Amino acid sequence: MNNLLLPIASLIGAGLVILGLMFYRRSQHATGSGFGHFLRRNGVFVSSYLILSLLGWIFFMIILPQLYMVDFSFSHNLPPSKIGGPEDVYTTQNYEYLLFGSPGSEDAFNWLHLKVFLRTILAAVVVTIIDLALCYPVAYYMAQSASSGKLRMMALCLLLPFWVNEILRAFAFRILFGSGGVFNNVLMGMGLIDQPVDFIRADVGLYAGLSYAYLLLMIFPLYNAIESLDHSQIEAAKDLGCPWWRVHFEVVMPFAKPGIASGCTMVFMLSCGALAAPQILGGPSSLWFTQIIYQWFNTGGNWPLGAAYALVLLVVCIIFVMAVMRLFKVSFGEIIK
Amino acid sequence: MSANVELENLNIRFGDFHAVKDVNLNIRDGEFFSFLGPSGCGKTTILRAVSGFNDPTEGAIYIGGENMLGSGPNERPTALVFQSLALFPLMSVADNISFGLKVRGVGKVQRRKKADELLEMIALSDQGDKLPSELSGGQRQRVAIARALAVEPKVLLLDEPLSALDLKLREHMRTELRRIQQRVGITFIYITHDQGEALTMSDRIAVMSHGVMQQVGSAQDIYDNPATSFVASFVGENNPINGTVIAAEEGYVSLKTDFGELRGRNERGLQPGDRATLFIRPQNLCLSERGDFDNCIQTTVNDQEFEGEFEHLYLAGDSRNLVVSLINDGAIPQFSNGSPISVGFHSDRAVVLPAGEMAYE
Ligand SMILES: Nc1ncnc2c1ncn2[C@@H]1O[C@H](COP(=O)(O)OP(=O)(O)OP(=O)(O)O)[C@@H](O)[C@H]1O
Ligand SMILES: [Mg+2]
């Protein structure tokens, strides 16, 4: 373990505590402020409990683990006996490995991993687009056309399947798309094909499984956004000459942009980070980047390398999302709304 | 090409609810036509049927002689100004106005030119780049009208467009609307439950109640010669006196009422024995001693109210107070509450109609 991590972590922890104390002191003077009001309403004991547990949560669950990961990613992979020894110094070799491969290799770049990385991002984009295309009509129907009875029915139908756990769902898809699966049987029964199609190798199962897994995360932000659109605006657009499809492009989608953005962001991020579905549904030749990360942590036993890979994935995903949001002129504040 | 709007035997039902009943109407090209009626009488329903948002259950709608059955709102030569305005909040005022042209594939330069023209017409020339939310209520109102006019409809439909505005602005917008209509010269179909609006702006008015069209005519016509008790009691102030017809001759009927025998015009061919209501307007009732009247009503004073130009007397009537509006000439006596009074009117100022639904609760 490096000797830098502990001081940094304790510094941040101390900072949070000092911040809390400052707020507390201030609140004793300015009781009219929001914080003073909060204190008076809940009492000192309950408020300090609430604040400490919140700060504790942020510190122990979010900041500390990520700091460890960052620390790991810049470390050498050393056996426990050497940790803290003279060889335990910071290095960028893990990141270099992702880019250039092992020092002894012939290729200039680590094409194997970089390709998987790019393919993962691309596949996540495709999954996001599939989900958007599937969910937009449903969300629109639920938000603007359905009666309240139908709406409740649909919400239930959408929610119930998600009680089935992820692994089970993935295997069910595998059976569905397998060479002796339902789809092949139906297609062959109808005489459309005479040989079973290998849906799994073609990654059809993977895309279907991933799209299905994150359906709800797309539908609900979309529904929320479209629901707040005044129906008379849709009618106004029609009245001014829009055919139905144009109403969507000109009026509904621009209005629902924040919802579309937050749905897409969530689906994209989670698809990039998915592990179970690619493991179970991915074709034999296709590897998801998370699977490589998993291998480094697990069978590879190289945590620093795994941490570096995971961080690269995280940072690139964030940058990608920011760039796309910039392109479509959506601000971050709008998404959180 | 003419752009008259014909409603032929129009019936609209929502499930069991009969919202519009047997409406037959021909709205002429270039006319400012109003539908007037209390809330829930089916005005919006008719307008939405004309613009294509709901289909007639029975009957047909013709615009310029063409049956509109099967044409969607985007295919009809109409434009609707919504009760809620429904401006697009994310588009600038100019983009809102030129939206319909954009949809029709008109180029950017031309669009902007047309928007500028319309902005000038609604006196908002320098506000084209603002968002609708940055305008005042009255300005938004005008933008909504300009947006509808931009597509050069043959018929402009307006659903209570002034109801959200305060009184001052509403009165200003009345003249403004009338000016715009005369300038563009197209048919306006205007919906309101405010009779002041309907009377001041319209060429003709249709008065509606519970989905039934009660009367169609000019403002003057509807005010002076109401066709039903509903119209008489809904348009303008009116005093109803109930009774039974005892004699009918030469366009007049005599009515036996709580105040003795009263005479009024017989516009609807009433016969002796019919239940009827006589309507006399507050300004047509005078103090009996001030003239020589055919009809006299002896009753008592309930209240006296000073208004400036007018003074209003509230007298005990047969069902509700009789209102008498006297021009304040400085010689109106003060009545104590409960004191007896005699008021009179000329028979040609009163109209007698078959007893029927009233606009009062
Ligand atoms: N989609 C609908 N389904 C069922 N009933 C409806 C529907 N639309 C309107 N109605 C009913 O039809 C009647 C007439 O409604 P409409 O909106 O035409 O009234 P309106 O005259 O425009 O009233 P207001 O002045 O309040 O706007 C109302 O009683 C209303 O409840
Ligand atoms: Mg209405």
Same domain for A147 and A258?
yes
Identify whether the C-beta of residue B47 lies closer than 8 Å to the C-beta of residue B191. Answer: yes
Residue B251 pLDDT > 60, yes or no? yes
Work out the burial of residue A222: count CB atoms within 10 Å of its CB; fewer than 13 is exposed, 13-18 middle, 19 or more buried: buried
Joined tokens for residue B94 = 């100019």
Cβ contact A255–B90 (<8 Å): yes
Q: How would you write chain A as a 3-class SS string?
A: CCCCHHHHHHHHHHHHHHHHHHHHHHHHHCCCCHHHHHHHHHHHHHHHHHHHHHHHHHHHHHHHHHHHHHHHHCCCCCCHHHCCCCCCCCCCHHHHHHHHCCCCCCCCCCHHHHHHHHHHHHHHHHHHHHHHHHHHHHHHHHHHHCCHHHHHHHHHHHHHHHHCCHHHHHHHHHHHHCCCCHHHHHHHHCCCCCCCCCCCCCCHHHHHHHHHHCHHHHHHHHHHHHHCCCHHHHHHHHHCCCCHHHHHHHHHHHHHHHHHHHHHHHHHHHHHHCCHHHHHHCCCCCCCHHHHHHHHHCCCCCHHHHHHHHHHHHHHHHHHHHHHHHHCCCCHHHHHC
Residue B353 pLDDT > 60, yes or no? yes
Same domain for A95 and A117?
no
Identify whether the C-beta of residue B195 lies closer than 8 Å to the C-beta of residue B235. Answer: yes
Last residue of a domain, which of A74, A100, A126? A100
Identify whether the C-beta of residue B70 lies closer than 8 Å to the C-beta of residue B58. Answer: no
Overall number of domains in chain A = 2
Residue A58 pLDDT > 90, yes or no? no
Please give the pLDDT value at position B290.
86
Please give the pLDDT value at position A98.
85
For B106-144, the pLDDT digits (tens) are: 999 999 999 999 999 888 889 999 999 999 988 998 999
Give a yes or no: residue A105 inside a domain: no
Same domain for A95 and A126?
no
Q: Name the amino acid, one letter, at A316.
A: V
Please give the pLDDT value at position A32.
53
Give a yes or no: residue A219 inside a domain: yes
Last residue of a domain, which of A100, A120, A139? A100
Could you give the percent of chain A with pLDDT greater than 70?
93
Please give the pLDDT value at position B92.
95
Please give the pLDDT value at position A30.
54
Provide the 10 A C-beta neighbour count for residue A40: 12
Residue count of chain B, please give it: 361
Same domain for A14 and A91?
yes
Residue B350 pLDDT > 50, yes or no? yes
Q: Where are the beta strands (DSSP E) in chain B?
A: 5-14, 17-27, 32-36, 58-63, 66-67, 78-81, 155-159, 187-192, 204-209, 212-217, 239-249, 252-257, 260-266, 275-280, 286-287, 295-306, 310-315, 322-327, 340-345, 351-354
The model's pTM is 0.81
Identify whether the C-beta of residue B359 lies closer than 8 Å to the C-beta of residue B195. Answer: no
Last residue of a domain, which of A77, A100, A123? A100
Chain A residue set in contact with B, beta carbons under 8 Å: 230, 232-233, 235-243, 246, 250-251, 254-255
Give residue B331's pLDDT band: very low, low, confident or very high (50, 70, 90): confident
For B256-307, the pLDDT digits (tens) are: 999 999 999 998 889 999 999 999 999 999 999 888 899 999 999 999 998 8
Q: Kindly tell me the number of DSSP H helices and DSSP E strands found in chain B.
A: 9, 20
B72 touches chain A (CB under 8 A): yes
Q: Which of B51, B82, B151 is nearest residue A241 as measured by Cβ atoms? A: B151
B146-169 mean pLDDT: 89
Alpha carbon distance B305, B310 (integer Å): 9
Spatial CB neighbours of A109, under 8 Å, sequence gap ≥ 6 = A99, A100, A101
Same domain for A148 and A89?
no
Please give the pLDDT value at position A103.
75
For A159-199, the pLDDT digits (tens) are: 888 888 888 888 888 888 888 888 888 888 888 888 888 88
Give a yes or no: residue A307 inside a domain: yes
Q: Which domain holds residue A256?
A: 111-335
Give a yes or no: residue A314 inside a domain: yes
B279 touches chain A (CB under 8 A): no
A125-148 mean pLDDT: 94
| Edge-to-edge order in the sheet of strand B340-345 | B286-287, B340-345, B295-306, B310-315, B322-327
| Cα of A58 from ligand 1 centre, angstroms | 54
Q: Which of A238, A239, A251 is nearest residue B88 as measured by Cβ atoms? A: A251
Q: Nearest Cα to A20, choosing from A51, A54, A45?
A: A51
Same domain for A118 and A223?
yes
Phi, psi dihedrals of residue B187, rounded to the nearest 5°: -70, 130
Same domain for A165 and A261?
yes
Name the average pLDDT for chain A. 85
Lowest-confidence region among A110-119, A238-247, A324-333: A324-333
Distance from CA of A231 to the nearest CA of B (A): 9
Same domain for A78 and A125?
no
Same domain for A26 and A87?
yes
Joined tokens for residue A315 = 């940072």
Identify whether the C-beta of residue B252 lies closer than 8 Å to the C-beta of residue B263. Answer: yes
Distance from CA of A328 to the nearest CA of B (A): 14
Q: Nearest Cα to B253, choosing from B265, B242, B241?
A: B265
Q: What 8-state DSSP symbol labels residue B109? A: H
Identify whether the C-beta of residue B208 lies closer than 8 Å to the C-beta of residue B327. Answer: no
Give residue A42's pLDDT band: very low, low, confident or very high (50, 70, 90): confident
For B7-65, the pLDDT digits (tens) are: 999 999 999 999 999 999 999 999 999 999 999 999 999 999 999 999 999 999 999 99
Name the average pLDDT for chain B. 92
Give a yes or no: residue A172 inside a domain: yes
Same domain for A92 and A144?
no
Give residue B199's pLDDT band: very low, low, confident or very high (50, 70, 90): very high
Same domain for A184 and A45?
no
B103 touches chain A (CB under 8 A): yes
Write the ipTM. 0.83
Give a yes or no: residue A106 inside a domain: no
Please give the pLDDT value at position A69.
86
The CATH number assigned to the domain holding A267 equals 1.10.3720.10
Give a yes or no: residue A244 inside a domain: yes
* Residue whose CA lies nearest to ligand 1 atom number 29: B40
Please give the pLDDT value at position A1.
47
Atom number in ligand 1 closest to CA B14: 4
Same domain for A202 and A326?
yes
Give a yes or no: residue A90 inside a domain: yes
B14 touches chain A (CB under 8 A): no
